[in-house]
Amino acid sequence: MDSSVLFGVATIGYMLSMVAYITYLVFRNRQIGLVATGITVASFIAQTIAFLMRWVEGYEMGLRSFWRPPISNLYESLIFFVWCLILGYLIIEFKYRNRSFGAFITPVAGLALAFIEMTGMSKEIQPLMPALQSNWLLAHVTMSFIAYAAFGLSFGTALMYLIEKTEERTEPAYIFWTVSLGVLIVLLAAMGLDFMKYHVLATNSEVIKDYLFRATFKSGSSVVSLASWIGSVIIIALVWRYGYLLKKIVAAFNISTDLLDELTYKTVAVGFPVFTLGGLIFGAIWADQAWGVYWSWDPKETWSLITWFVYAFYLHARLMRGWRGRKVAVVAVVGFVAVVFTYLGVNLLLSGLHSYGALG
Amino acid sequence: MIEQKKGFVDWIWDFFASIKLAAVLFLLIALSSIVGTVIEQGAEPEKNLMFLKRIFGDALAPSAYRVFESLGFMDMYRSWWFITLLVLFSANLIICSLDRFPRIWRLVREPLKPISPLMVKTVSIRKEMRLKGTPEVVKEELRQALKSLGFGAQDSSIEDGGFQLYAQKGRYARLGVYITHLSIVVIMLGAVIGIFFGFNGYLPLQEGYASDIAYARDNTPHKLGFTIRCDDFDVEFYDMSDMPKVFRSRLTVIKDGKEVLKKVVEVNSPLRYGGYTFYQSNYGMVPDAKGYFILKVRGSSGKAVTVNRMLGESFVIPGTEIVGTIKDFSPALATDNSGKTFTYSDMMNNPAVYIEFSDSGKAKYSGWILKRFPSTWRLPDGNIVELVDYWGVQYTGLQVRKDPGVWLVYLGSGIMTLGLYLAFFMSHRRIWVLVSREGKYSAVTVLASASKNRPSFERKVERFIADLSGGADG
Ligand code: HEM
């Protein structure tokens, strides 16, 4: 058996646990909750073993030195992100004895894994280009993804906070979270359609990159493209119209909004220093060693800085009068959108200097 | 007049000390930075014009380009308004920190005082209990308990035999925020010094050649003050693939005619000398260069010699009469389906040399010898000819940088790490234990505060109380 089998098991496991947590959220049945936790823990163990196996495999194939954990291309980093996210989530679940966060965190993991499958990115263990053989880079990547996972957790709790706190459909915060959720659903659906239409064709990364949204928004036929835009607007409108149903479910759990606010702050307070040190400082040191410039304003770097500023804004906004609660929760959600863009958007939509993280 | 001026200065000061301005600047810098990631910076005009055509259409694109250009969007991070934002940001950061620092510094420096009745209400953790024994009896026990919590307590007596124990820990955590802010200023200072006094250029250097100048981005020569020589360049590949594993330049620094430093430069391992840093950046072949084939020749007698020959020259295999003549060279040899050889790249991906051998004038055999394939080194008669290198035809592309501000950037990064650690992972904890007589008992009130992570400190205080209450009554 090789690591990919176990990764597959873990992927399916996380998908199942996502379903289980959501079912638990709807029916509030203790048994279902236990099953959800059980599946998550089992998948987490499977993924941990798979991670170690992949580490050894890379070494045995002579492609990686023994000191290189497998966190060096987009596929591996996404997997590592999911691992950190689930670990962070499990800690919160056990510490606060509350499972309902699961329904908001596991979908983030599910999305990351679905993204891997949908884009059909390469899962092979690849040799490292010279620029990537650096311990600074290793520390940079590892810590960045730990921070991203912490930000992912804060995204989940901030979203729950917003859902619980908003009352009116005309309220800006309500509009904000429903539209965000709507856009997320639209993007996923569009990627799903690309996947169904082009997956057979897509054999290498360039092809996939070119085909992103070809089945919908960027379709050659203007009818399809127009229909996609109209469809998106309808989906977002529906989420907006019926968002209160979700609110009812979440509200039924009686999680105190203060706890959600505190959790959001705490996870940001872990993510921010880790991201500063790993994401920005170590990244700069690596760039300095490898390219001779510690900062070159390339899109990836700039987006890291933007993300950093958004979270700095979050931390400072909490210190301003009248900015507790709803407004800062919006900032935490926006922060994670910036994280996702830094992580994927730059590679997919903007072309950067960083060859690292390409879909190949 | 003087009155008015002071008012104005105050107004400026308050403006820059405001955290609202910080929030606005965070957003402005973040949002405007996005523009620079969408429009390619410092690119050829055609590229961005193409991009604008896709957004604005053919007709509007040229005017859009002019507008964007006048706003500095094509070289945004150096534009006057972006620099202005950064200057405002620094001013904000410095003045805001100066504004609040004295208060915090007092808090850090002043020894903790017994709590006054007025302050009691401002403290967030408050627990009460009753201990057996008069205050005089429980005092030492309480002191020990505080010690085991990590607090060395001071005490003060209050009337009627009561007393107060108080202690604090981690007060320097309060400085974390200011240290973090200071570090940003230090980093920006380093960056500014680098921009004004630094040099960023490149130096292509052919194997065997030396240079005492590098070139700036606009190709103007820049004197280094010493000479740098490339002794050799080579690329190592992953097994059978064309995926490079290592690029390597062997460099020698020559100062006043003497070799002072030798170093193998790889991608993540630059050479530093005289304030300059030389990075492995790229490499290539020098067109029409005449190089030397370096061959390691071993006759069946076992003796090996290394020979340097140019194209067309010959050598003898030691211990034999066999003469090899170098007839052809390919930087990247491949074989097609029908077995015919061809060159698939003009880089040295798979160097190969074609050698004809003859024995006493009679043609013996001939064929390709490939650097990367040891199986091709062995001749039919057991003699071995290894292609070590085709030397002198490659150049190494070095990036040359001098940045007198970089140490400040590193120093700032270190300070920032310390600051963030203090700000987020340390907490200023204060505790007051108030004891008063209640007959044979002591009424104990524990008051405590923490600048960070209050719940965790609260749990500690609760445990502290639970431990003490072991011998308590009610
Ligand atoms: C990117 C730049 C900045 C970074 C990384 C940064 C970082 C931080 C951090 C980590 C904290 C602690 C927050 C917490 O404990 O939750 C903080 C607090 C603070 N920052 Fe900044 N900061 C930046 C810029 C600024 C600027 C421009 C100002 C100017 C007004 C400012 C004013 C403050 C103030 C007043 C506090 C609160 C101090 C206190 O709690 O007493 N910061 N900052």
More confident residue, A178 or B62: A178
- Answer whether B399 sits within 8 Å of A130, measured CB to CB: no
Please provide residue B449's backbone torsions phi and psi, each rounded to the nearest 5 degrees: -145, 155
β strands within A85-218, DSSP E: none
Q: In Å, how far is B322's CA from the nearest CA of chain A? A: 39
The pocket around ligand 1, CB under 6 angstroms, is made up of A 312, 315-316, 319; B 19, 22, 89, 92-93, 96, 100, 177, 180-181, 184, 423
CA–CA dist A77, A343 (Å, integer): 10
Residues of A in contact with B240 (CB under 8 A): none
> Ligand 1 center to residue A316 CA distance, Å?
6
Which residues between 349 and 408 in chain B have a beta carbon less than 8 angstroms from any beta carbon of chain A? 399-401, 406
* Residue numbers of the domain that contains A112: 1-128
* Cβ(B452)–Cβ(A266) below 8 Å: no
pLDDT of amino acid B108 = 86
Q: Which of B26, B238, B239 sits opposite A309 (nearest CB)?
A: B26
Residues of A in contact with B277 (CB under 8 A): 292
Q: Band the pLDDT of A360: cuts 50, 70, 90.
A: very low
Residues of A in contact with B279 (CB under 8 A): 290-292
The ligand 1 atom nearest the CA atom of B18: 30
* Cβ(A196)–Cβ(A349) below 8 Å: no
- The percentage of residues in chain A with a pLDDT greater than 70, rounded to a whole number, is 85
Q: Band the pLDDT of B116: cuts 50, 70, 90.
A: confident
Report the candidate in A25, A47, A7 with the shortest Cα–Cα distance to residue A253.
A25
More confident residue, A71 or B435: B435
Residue A334 contacts by C-beta under 8 Å, 6 or more apart in sequence? A310
Closest Cα to atom 13 of ligand 1: A315
Closest Cα to atom 31 of ligand 1: B93
- Answer whether B267 sits within 8 Å of A277, measured CB to CB: no
* Minimum Cα–Cα distance from A282: chain B residue: B413
> Ligand 1 center to residue B177 CA distance, Å?
6
The predicted complex's ipTM stands at: 0.83
> Ligand 1 center to residue B181 CA distance, Å?
7
What integer best gives the mean pLDDT of chain B? 86
* Cβ(A288)–Cβ(A294) below 8 Å: yes
Q: Is residue A257 part of a domain?
A: no
More confident residue, A111 or A120: A111
- Answer whether A302 sits within 8 Å of B37, measured CB to CB: yes
> Ligand 1 center to residue B184 CA distance, Å?
11
Q: Is B173 exposed, middle or buried (0-12, 13-18, 19+ CB in 10 A)?
A: buried
Q: Band the pLDDT of B473: cuts 50, 70, 90.
A: very low
CA–CA dist B447, A291 (Å, integer): 55
Please provide residue A50's backbone torsions phi and psi, each rounded to the nearest 5 degrees: -60, -40
Residues of A in contact with B417 (CB under 8 A): 276-277, 281
CA–CA dist A271, A281 (Å, integer): 14
**Residues A268-294: pLDDT tens digits?**
999 999 999 999 999 999 888 877 788
Examine the pLDDT at B280 and tell me if it is beyond 80: yes
Q: Is residue A53 part of a domain?
A: yes
Examine the pLDDT at A226 and tell me if it is beyond 90: no
CATH architecture of structural domain B112-170+427-471:
2-Layer Sandwich (3.30)
At B133, list the tokens.
């024994």
Place of tokens 């204060």: B430
More confident residue, B419 or B164: B419
* Cβ(B191)–Cβ(A295) below 8 Å: yes
CA angle B125, B127, B130 (to 5 degrees): 160
Between A232-241, B26-35, B55-64, the lowest mean confidence (pLDDT) is in B55-64
**Residues B422-464: pLDDT tens digits?**
999 888 899 999 888 888 888 888 999 888 878 788 888 888 8
Closest Cα to atom 12 of ligand 1: B177
- What size, in residues, is chain B? 474
What DSSP element (H or E) covers A301?
Answer: helix A299-317
Query: Hey, is the C-beta of B101 within 8 angstroms of any chain A C-beta?
Result: no
Place of tokens 């009691």: B120
pLDDT of amino acid A205 = 46
C-alpha radius of gyration, chain B, whole number: 38
Which residues between 200 and 229 in chain B have a beta carbon less than 8 angstroms from any beta carbon of chain A? 200
Chain-centre distance of CA A333, in angstroms?
A: 12
* Cβ(B202)–Cβ(B281) below 8 Å: yes
Query: Hey, is the C-beta of B334 within 8 angstroms of any chain A C-beta?
Result: no
Report the candidate in B109, B125, B113 with the shortest Cα–Cα distance to residue B166.
B113
pLDDT of amino acid A251 = 79
Closest Cα to atom 38 of ligand 1: B177
pLDDT of amino acid A203 = 44
**Residues B184-199: pLDDT tens digits?**
999 999 999 988 898 9
* Cβ(A138)–Cβ(A68) below 8 Å: yes
Q: Are strands B210-216 and B199-206 parallel, antiparallel or unpaired?
A: antiparallel
- The percentage of residues in chain A with a pLDDT greater than 90, rounded to a whole number, is 26
User: Domain total for chain A?
Assistant: 1
Q: Band the pLDDT of A211: cuts 50, 70, 90.
A: low
Q: In Å, how far is B245's CA from the nearest CA of chain A? A: 6
The ligand 1 atom nearest the CA atom of B16: 30
CA–CA dist B286, B207 (Å, integer): 10
Q: Band the pLDDT of A209: cuts 50, 70, 90.
A: low
Examine the pLDDT at B14 and tell me if it is beyond 80: yes
pLDDT of amino acid B470 = 64
Please provide residue B165's backbone torsions phi and psi, each rounded to the nearest 5 degrees: -105, 140
* Cβ(A257)–Cβ(A164) below 8 Å: yes
- Answer whether A293 sits within 8 Å of B200, measured CB to CB: yes
Domain ranges of chain B: 8-107, 112-170+427-471, 194-287+395-415, 292-391
Q: Is residue A115 part of a domain?
A: yes
Chain-centre distance of CA A52, in angstroms?
A: 22
pLDDT of amino acid A355 = 37
Distance (Å) of CA B82 to CA A294, A317, B33, B78: 19, 23, 9, 7
The whole-number average pLDDT for the span B240-244 is 78
What integer best gives the mean pLDDT of chain A? 82
Distance (Å) of CA A302 to CA A110, A355, B41, B188, B388: 28, 16, 12, 16, 44
Write the DSSP symbol of residue B259.
Answer: E
Q: Which of B30, B279, B406 sits opposite A294 (nearest CB)?
A: B406
Closest Cα to atom 16 of ligand 1: A315
Closest Cα to atom 22 of ligand 1: B181
Q: Is residue A7 part of a domain?
A: yes
Evaluate whether B112-170+427-471 and B194-287+395-415 have a shared fold.
no
Examine the pLDDT at B248 and tell me if it is beyond 80: yes
Q: Is residue A207 part of a domain?
A: no
* Cα dihedral A247/A251/A257/A260 (nearest 10): -70
**Residues B342-401: pLDDT tens digits?**
888 878 888 899 999 998 888 888 989 998 888 888 888 888 999 988 888 889 999 899
Q: In Å, how far is B243's CA from the nearest CA of chain A? A: 7
> Ligand 1 center to residue A229 CA distance, Å?
41
The whole-number average pLDDT for the span B224-247 is 85
Closest Cα to atom 29 of ligand 1: B93
CA–CA dist B144, B152 (Å, integer): 9
pLDDT of amino acid A348 = 66
pLDDT of amino acid B5 = 60
Q: Which of B19, B34, B41 sits opposite A316 (nearest CB)?
A: B19
Q: In Å, how far is A291's CA from the nearest CA of chain B? A: 7
> Ligand 1 center to residue A2 CA distance, Å?
48
Distance (Å) of CA B421 to CA B168, B176, B418, B451: 19, 7, 5, 14
pLDDT of amino acid B6 = 67
**Residues B42-52: pLDDT tens digits?**
777 777 777 77
Report the candidate in B254, B281, B284 with the shortest Cα–Cα distance to residue B200.
B281
The whole-number average pLDDT for the span A56-77 is 77
At A356, list the tokens.
């690292």
CATH number of B194-287+395-415: 2.60.98
The ligand 1 atom nearest the CA atom of B19: 30
> Ligand 1 center to residue A14 CA distance, Å?
38
pLDDT of amino acid B474 = 41
Examine the pLDDT at A354 and tell me if it is beyond 70: no
pLDDT of amino acid A265 = 92
Residues of A in contact with B23 (CB under 8 A): 313, 316-317, 320
* Minimum Cα–Cα distance from B78: chain A residue: A297
More confident residue, A44 or A121: A44
Distance (Å) of CA A248 to CA A244, A252, B139: 6, 6, 54
* Residue B406 identity (one-letter amino acid): V
pLDDT of amino acid B148 = 84
Q: Which of A273, A289, A312 sits opposite B270 (nearest CB)?
A: A289
CA–CA dist B230, B251 (Å, integer): 5
Residue B154 contacts by C-beta under 8 Å, 6 or more apart in sequence? B112, B165, B166, B167
Residues of A in contact with B29 (CB under 8 A): 309
Query: Hey, is the C-beta of B241 within 8 angstroms of any chain A C-beta?
Result: yes
Query: Hey, is the C-beta of B115 within 8 angstroms of any chain A C-beta?
Result: no
- Count of CB atoms within 10 A of residue A358's CB? 17
Which residues between 413 and 432 in chain B have a beta carbon less than 8 angstroms from any beta carbon of chain A? 413, 416-417, 420-421, 423-425
* Minimum Cα–Cα distance from B38: chain A residue: A350
* Minimum Cα–Cα distance from B198: chain A residue: A293
Examine the pLDDT at B241 and tell me if it is beyond 90: no
Please provide residue A84's backbone torsions phi and psi, each rounded to the nearest 5 degrees: -65, -40
**Residues A315-353: pLDDT tens digits?**
998 877 767 788 899 999 999 999 988 877 776 666 433
The ligand 1 atom nearest the CA atom of B419: 10
> Ligand 1 center to residue A144 CA distance, Å?
21
Place of tokens 């992949």: A54
**Residues A184-207: pLDDT tens digits?**
778 777 776 776 666 544 444 444
Q: Which of A273, A299, A313 sits opposite B23 (nearest CB)?
A: A313
More confident residue, B294 or A135: B294
What's the pTM value of the predicted model, to 2 decimals? 0.82
